[in-house]
Amino acid sequence: MALLPIISLPDPRLRLVSEPVAEVDADVRRLMDDMLETMYDAPGIGLAAIQVAVPRRVVVLDTAKKDDPPEPIFLANPEIVWASDVLSVYEEGCLSIPEYYEEVERPDRVRVRFLDRAGKQQEIEADGLLATAIQHEIDHLNGVLFIDHISRLKRERVIRKFSKVARRLGPGDRPEA
């Protein structure tokens, strides 16, 4: 396994729509493993392949509490097939927008269909933090960032801030907010 570089705002690749995975083969499993190691190292609870500059519909998640054993979830080609009308608010952050957090309202429960690490089609229903994390990561696959769910003023402010930092840093450097 290998740690992968995480791209940050304002990198335009974060706005790309990721391509579906034809099959979960050894290369996709290696990507999933590398993404999981990268996510744990960051540390985070979710990572989409586009965040490591790979425009494929692959997500890894682990919302286990800090002192609990890891519970990684691997999703290829995830799609939300149902979302509750009941909404909940969570303070979200993003490994591609380091050190910035904002409250975001999303459906409280979702049902998601995906291919697992073995390539088998699965469907799970998630609520709470897991539902929020799944929606956040699927947004990434569609070129959407969590800041797209906040007010225009706040969004423009954070984009300006990260753009200014990126201009000061050289290519490949990760901005810190």
Band (pLDDT 50/70/90 cuts) for residue 170 is: low
Band (pLDDT 50/70/90 cuts) for residue 46 is: very high
Model pLDDT, residue 172: 54
- Which of 23, 137, 156, 176 is labelled catalytic? 137
Asked whether 32 and 117 are in contact (CB, 8 A), the reply is yes
Asked whether 77 and 20 are in contact (CB, 8 A), the reply is yes
Rounded CA separation 95/134 (Å): 15
Rounded CA separation 82/160 (Å): 35
Which residue from 141, 147, 128 is spatially nearest to 35, judged by alpha carbons? 141
Q: Output 168 or 58, whichever has higher pLDDT.
A: 58
pLDDT tens digit sequence for 99-151: 999 999 999 999 999 999 999 999 999 999 999 999 999 999 999 999 999 99
Model pLDDT, residue 177: 44
Q: Is 137 a catalytic residue?
A: yes
Mean pLDDT, the chain, rounded, equals: 95
Q: Kindly state the percentage of the chain with pLDDT values over 70.
A: 95
Q: Could you give the domains of the chain?
A: 12-168 (3.90.45.10)
Asked whether 49 and 35 are in contact (CB, 8 A), the reply is yes
pTM of the model: 0.93
**Token pair for 111:** 């049902």
Across 14-142, the runs of DSSP E, i.e. the strands, are: 46-48, 58-61, 73-83, 87-94, 97-107, 109-115, 121-127
